[in-house]
Amino acid sequence: MQIAFSGKLGSGKSTVCAILKEKYGYEIYSTGTIQRKIAEEMGISTLELNKRMSEDPALDHVIDDAVVELSRRRAGDNLIYDSRMAWHFAENTFKVYMYVDPTVAAKRVMLADRGSVEKYSSIDEAREMLIARSIEENKRFKDIYKVDNFDYFNYDLIIDSTSATPEQIAEAIVTEAGKYSESPFTQTKVMLSPYVLFPTKQYGTDDGENITVSVNNGVHYVISGHGKLAALQLGNASLVEATLTRDAVIADHGLYEEYEENGNFKYETKPID
């Protein structure tokens, strides 16, 4: 099984990929790995290749072609593509997108040693810079490829690292990939922390056992299943399965404190618009 792995900055993709390699025997091909190979073939350094890529978008397509060729040549092997756009180019892959709450991502980045080029003075600064970097990166992808890397419907599995451990996420990915290999999913499967799900109805509303979620500007709004959401928040669940919909959202920011108070928790990042 080949897995195309994308996701939010700070979501822990590299950690999960390392577990998938060590515990489940997957071989990892990152954008960096492919870039190094191409740079070697061109007789230049990866630094020079990156510089040329920033000036010439056509070089992105060289990497894209390498991903396509690799996915064809190694079809049937257990490979992971740790690359933002591999889902679009690698053929016959299980497409995974890792989400993480922006504030949680900022806290992780602040604690990690990412060198002098990625230093922040506060969690707020780290969060805003990570969000801005993601938006700018996605804009570049839209310009080059005419696709939206943030659109959940492009993927087979959306999985959230806000509350779950890397080990839990790796196990879930392997499990879902196995199901997919037997019978490809007809719709995107979503597994999110209940603490990144924002209600649109009052606490105590009984509107079904299945949680349905609509995503708007990166925020997960619950359309139905509020009773189950409340129970999961109270029960400290790490992941909850939800059904994805494109239904329009009418957000009510006044509801969030009600859920926090009754569920005895705090949302790390609340919607502001």
Whole-angstrom distance, CA of residue 26 vs CA of residue 20: 6
Whole-angstrom distance, CA of residue 144 vs CA of residue 139: 9
Find out whether 220 and 198 touch, Cβ atoms under 8 Å.
Answer: yes
pLDDT in tens, 194-244: 999 999 999 999 999 899 999 999 999 999 999 999 999 999 899 999 999
Tens of pLDDT along the chain (273 residues) come to 999 999 998 999 989 999 999 999 999 988 777 777 777 888 887 668 767 776 777 777 878 888 899 999 999 899 999 888 899 999 999 999 999 999 999 999 888 755 444 577 889 998 998 898 888 888 888 888 899 999 999 999 999 999 999 999 999 999 999 999 999 999 999 999 999 999 999 999 999 989 999 999 999 999 999 999 999 999 989 999 999 999 999 888 999 999 999 999 999 999 976
Residue 43's region, left for phi above 0, alpha for psi from -120 to 50, else beta, is left
Whole-angstrom distance, CA of residue 159 vs CA of residue 169: 7
Furthest-apart CA atoms within the chain: distance in Å: 64
Find out whether 253 and 271 touch, Cβ atoms under 8 Å.
Answer: yes
Residue that the structure tokens 């959306």 belong to = 158
Task: Give the helix, strand, coil percentages of the chain, each rounded to 5.
Answer: 50, 15, 35
Find out whether 59 and 209 touch, Cβ atoms under 8 Å.
Answer: no
Give the number of other Cβ atoms within 10 Å of residue 241's Cβ.
Answer: 10
Q: Counting Cβ atoms within 10 Å, is residue 90 exposed (0-12), middle (13-18) or buried (19+)?
A: buried
Supply the pTM of this predicted model.
0.90
Identify the three-state secondary structure at position 203.
Answer: coil
Residue that the structure tokens 């690292």 belong to = 161
Looking at the chain, the domain(s) classified CATH 3.40.50.300 span 2-182
CATH number for the region 2-182 comes to 3.40.50.300
What token pair was written down for 256? 């969030």
Q: Are strands 94-99 and 157-160 parallel, antiparallel or unpaired?
A: parallel
